[in-house]
A and B are shown apart, each in its own frame.
Chain A
Amino acid sequence: MDQFDAFKQMGEFWARAGTAFFDPAGISRAMAPGQAGSPWPGLPTADFAKLAEAQTALAQSWASATALSQTLTSALRGGRDAPDPTAGAVLARIFDPQAWLGGTAEFDAALNRMAEGPQLADLWQAERRYGALFTAWTALRRAQAGHQAVMLDAWTRAAGTFARDTNERSARGESFASAREMMQAWIETANTVLLEVQRSDAFLASQRDVLKASTDLRLAQQEVAAFASELYGQPTRAELDDVHKSLTDLRREVRALRRANRAAKARANGGHREDAHG
């Protein structure tokens, strides 16, 4: 099974497992008799189908990109009989489309770090909140798959451009003088395409979807955490925010009083400098 198949099947597995889990019949099978009924009010099961759809689209892009990457790498190192396996390995890394996903992965990882809070173990009683959390999680994965599909399309375009330019150079009887020169040509081509892509509506829309989904996931997690906090008598995020707001307001008042005091002293001394801040 190659990477593409594994990815696709994982998506389908999640869709199947998720749909079955949230199917009322599945729930009733999982629960004791007499407890049947939907404890997951308003949970949209269609999310899983959309997730699978997004992942399938991504998988198709991935398959194209991988095939192109292998063709490029093989051609550039002189085919299967290339004498230098090290150079081949380096080239394979340079033309790996995964690197492009890695390029945005830092952004995605930052969003994930922002979204993924502490693991909460004792939340099995908070079904509704937990359901919303899971829905938000699938929405984030779906948004990420959509964004990665945009990036893979971009990689395919850049690799195609690079291959065409290299072919033309070869047809003219020209070669790259060194691996570094060739690498530099790829970097320049790739950079041009990436910078164009970042201004495209597709990129901005998918990036916005990822941001929104990660924010929704974070908020859903905070709902779960707030439920647990109240349950165990701990301060909630909202209560802490209230305290911090009061503290900020009090600091402003103290600052204003200090300033008024300073201005009053200045006036008493016949000075004018502090009046400017009064």
Chain B
Amino acid sequence: MADGTRKGAAPLALTPAEMLAEAGTLGRRMADGAKLFSDVRDEDVQIATTPKDLVWSQDKVSLYRYRPLAESKGLPPVLIVYGLIGRYTMADLQEDRSLVRNLLNAGLDLYVVDWGNPSRADRYVTIDDYVDGYLAECVAFIQERAERDKVNLLGICEGGVFTTCYSALYPETVNAMVLTITPIDFHADQTENRAGHGFINIWMRSLSPEDVDRLIEAQGSLPGAFMGSVFSMMTPMRTMTKYNLDLLDALDDKKKFLNFLRMEKWIADRPDHPGEAAKQWLKDLYQDNKLVDSAFELGGRRVELKNITCPVLNVFAKDDHIIPPATSQALRGKVGTGDYTELGLPGGHVGVFVGGKAQKLLGSGISDWIAARG
């Protein structure tokens, strides 16, 4: 057992007067913060504000088309596909940190699919329904509207798995595919084994398939709040200090403070993941790792990665603790195209989309790559 400090220097080299000054500074910052809180209005923390129009919907799924912000480059439309854990609004968090705006400013014709808010009533909806059903319907709509045989797909995280599966099942409809922070080999977290990285992979492997089945039987879904708590566990001290130390730091600067609140808004909007789709996600992919082995089945068909013949840009975050880079990079050599490019960006899972430097590199990296494959 520790016995505190012994002789030598005092652990904290502050005189009583300095300590009082520190306490005084803290008090001032808290007072400033209270004023900031009272001044903030709802419209200050709006997210996903880039103008768009609802162009198609089915059940709880909506397809939006963004209004152009620049002259069209005449390229095939791009469909952004987010996953069921979190929402696409991360790609359009705020005006100066928006992948959506960066792509629109590059003259791309941009669509996004919103999976809505699945409830217990959607317990039996599967990944087959999302990929072979809703996503295929969205692509068909865009093909018809744009009078194009092929579209570009931009998948994010679980949405990247959806676009990977779709591109393997319907290669003739995909011009090019961009994957961002997308897991392909769900066991490749063990390649680097970095502390604090890949906890979900480790945690899922510690559960049995029956644990997952019973969880879904009991809940009907993989509740969004539950996944939120798992993400919090992955950054334990950050979670403990977030609403005191981090927030205190953000209070110095109104812009920083509003960024903090917008991010909190996105984090709080975490839909429930439909139960049967969650079982596939957790058991077939996280536990049995079927995707990288081309053993995952949708709609009675195997998802053969070598059937992906379109050009592929695989973007990963070098410091992604949720989707470790090796789990994404595992796609190299598995697809049926020689036009395969990897882009490793600085930052973490979310930082790559909203971090000051990374999000600019992400936008230009994607738009330049797509433009070269128009």
Contact = CB atoms under 8 A, between A and B. Distances in A.
18 contacts: A71-B2, A75-B4, A76-B4, A110-B225, A113-B225, A163-B5, A164-B2, A187-B237, A191-B238, A204-B202, A211-B211, A218-B218, A244-B121, A252-B133, A255-B133, A273-B149, A276-B170, A277-B173
Interface in B117-142: 120-125, 129, 133, 136-137, 139-140
A116 B39 CA distance: 37
For B59, B220, B237, the residue with the greatest tally of chain A CB atoms inside 10 Å of its CB is B237
B1 interface: yes
Q: State which size class the interface on B falls in.
A: 35 or more
A160 interface: yes
Q: Main secondary structure on chain B at its contact with chain A?
A: helix
A86 B203 CA distance: 40
Interface of B: 1-14, 16, 19-20, 22-23, 58-59, 120-125, 129, 133, 136-137, 139-140, 143-144, 149, 170, 172-173, 195-196, 199, 202-203, 206-207, 211, 214-215, 217-220, 223, 225-226, 228-230, 232-234, 236-241, 245
A116 to B, nearest CB: 12
Interface in A68-121: 68, 71-72, 74-78, 83-84, 86-87, 99-100, 102-104, 106-107, 109-111, 113-114
B226 A111 contact: yes
Nearest to A86: B23
Nearest to A256: B133
B210 to A, nearest CB: 9
Interface in A187-220: 187, 190-192, 194-196, 198-199, 204-205, 207-208, 211-212, 215-216, 218-219
Contact of B22 (A87, A110, A194): A87
B19 A179 contact: yes
Interface stretch (A17-25, A29-37, A123-131, A166-174): A166-174
B230 A107 contact: yes
B124 A244 contact: yes
B233 A104 contact: yes
Contact of B140 (A78, A167, A219, A262): A262
A259 B220 CA distance: 29
A106 B14 CA distance: 35
Given A84-B16, A205-B206, A211 B215 contact: yes
In the complex, the 8 A-B pairs of residues with the closest C-beta atoms, listed nearest first = A75-B4, A163-B2, A175-B13, A83-B16, A110-B229, A204-B206, A218-B218, A191-B237
Given A87-B19, A218-B218, 20 more contacts: A76-B5, A76-B11, A77-B12, A84-B19, A113-B225, A159-B2, A163-B5, A170-B8, A170-B9, A171-B7, A171-B8, A172-B9, A191-B238, A194-B237, A198-B199, A222-B218, A244-B121, A244-B123, A245-B123, A274-B143
Contacts of B234: 198
A199 to B, nearest CB: 6
A204 B9 CA distance: 41
B10 to A, nearest CB: 6
A262 B237 CA distance: 54
A106 B239 contact: yes
A199 B239 CA distance: 18
Given A107-B230, A114-B226, A273 B124 contact: no
Given A204-B203, A208-B206, A273-B149, A248 B125 contact: yes
Interface of A: 64, 67-68, 71-72, 74-78, 83-84, 86-87, 99-100, 102-104, 106-107, 109-111, 113-114, 159-160, 162-164, 166-167, 169-180, 182-183, 187, 190-192, 194-196, 198-199, 204-205, 207-208, 211-212, 215-216, 218-219, 222, 240-241, 244-245, 247-249, 251-252, 255, 259, 262, 273-274, 276-277
Given A104-B233, A218-B219, A110 B226 contact: yes
Contacts, number: 208
A259 B3 CA distance: 73
A176 B12 contact: yes
Nearest to B227: A110
A215 B245 CA distance: 35
A94 to B, nearest CB: 10
Given A195-B195, A244-B123, A245-B124, A102 B240 contact: yes
Nearest to B128: A252
Nearest to A158: B237
Contacts of A76: 4-5, 11-12
Contacts of B202: 198-199, 204
Contacts of A248: 122, 124-125, 129
Given A244-B123, A276-B173, A169 B20 contact: no
Contacts of B3: 71, 75, 163
Contacts of A172: 8-9
Contact of A195 (B133, B196, B215, B218): B196
Given A160-B1, A208-B207, A248-B125, A175 B229 contact: no
B9 A173 contact: yes
A96 B270 CA distance: 31
B133 A212 contact: no
B214 A191 contact: no
A141 to B, nearest CB: 18
Nearest to A272: B149
